[in-house]
Amino acid sequence: MNKMSIQWSVAGALAFCSMGGIAEVVDGEYCYFLQDGVQVPLEYTLTRPDGLPAGEQRPMVIMIHGGSWSGGQRGGLANLAGDLRSAGYVAATIDYRLTRDNPNNPMQVGADYTDIIKDVKCAVRYFRAQGQAGNWNIDPDSIAVLGSSAGGHLATQIGVSRTAWEDMNGQYSGISSEPQAIVNWYGPTDLAYNHAAVAASQVSIEALLGGDPNTVPGRYNQASPINHVDANDPPMLTIHGAEDETVPVAENRLFHDAFLHAGGQHRLHVIEDAPHGFVKSGPYVEYYNEGVTKTVQFLDWVFE
């Protein structure tokens, strides 16, 4: 196993002000993958509420960025991580392998869908192991996975897959990757539906799954959370903009209905007038703030 290191340096242990407090920010490596026989680290940035006494455990949110499975980086969710930290949660944003092939970006390695799922599951196992060891005030039995856009799809898939693909990369073997809650910010949940409904998404989805729904239908079935919901899945929340043209809100209305029909617990919150990808800036900040409020309310309900 690759030695996981935490860089307690100016670059790796920082502090920032949020809601009047000082929060610790730690950069590190959670797992690795092999590329041409070389171990490539998968990195994270973790923040936790300030002033926590040793031994006090808090629920954790593992956060997966968007970018059509081919781009983006963990820093894109830094604002949301800071807001969750201010609400009392330990939060970590993670990088993962991407479908695009780019020798100048160590994450863009032409990844297959199953490679990406392995990475995210390894992140859950890693942080659960840290909580079990008493590190960073993580409650190992209270872990949520949150994703935005393509990351929302991955988060939702982690929620419905549970023990599938467990320990496939051999790291943190024997530790569960099952989360206790899922939050999906405007991510697709039926890739065949999305492929048919949004022409601009077809290239990204085909790169993820290796073809279109006619050539690899089994992979579309496997990679679409809507096909795998059941009553044993963890509680889930979906935040979606009513004016989203990248992932139609109708797609997640169908997911909501399927989840409830299966006997699971799912909340769907539609934000009127919001487009895809609303963030904490510019004209979309009110949509972002509404999403944060609903996310914290949901997590507080799950982890009360």
DSSP 162-199: TTTTTTTT-SSTTS----SEEEEES--S-HHHHHHH-G
| Apex 92 CA angle, 89 and 95, nearest 5 | 160
The terminus-to-terminus CA distance of the chain in angstroms comes to 36
Give strand ranges (E) for 97-235: 138-148, 181-185
Which residue, 291, 202, 201, is CA-closest to 242? 291
Calpha distance 110→98 (Å, rounded): 6
Q: What is the pLDDT along the chain (304 residues), one digit of tens a residue?
A: 333 332 322 233 333 333 334 468 999 999 999 999 999 999 999 999 998 998 999 999 999 999 999 999 999 999 999 999 999 999 999 999 999 999 999 999 999 999 999 999 999 999 999 999 999 999 999 999 999 999 999 999 999 997 777 776 789 988 999 999 999 999 999 999 999 999 999 999 999 999 999 999 999 999 999 999 999 999 999 999 999 999 999 999 999 999 999 999 999 999 999 999 998 988 999 999 999 999 999 999 999 9
Entry pTM: 0.92
pLDDT at residue number 170: 81
Going by C-alpha positions, the residue among 156, 149, 125 that lies closest to residue 72 is 149
Q: Which among 149, 144, 188 has a CA at the least distance from the CA of 301?
A: 144
**According to the model, what pLDDT value does residue 110 have?**
96
d(CA 5, CA 72): 24
Per-residue burial over 134-172, b = 16 or more CB atoms within 10 Å of its CB, e = otherwise = eebbbbbebbbbbbbbbbbbbbbbbbbbbeeebbebebb
Measuring CA to CA, which residue among 110, 114, 84, 86 is closest to residue 98? 110
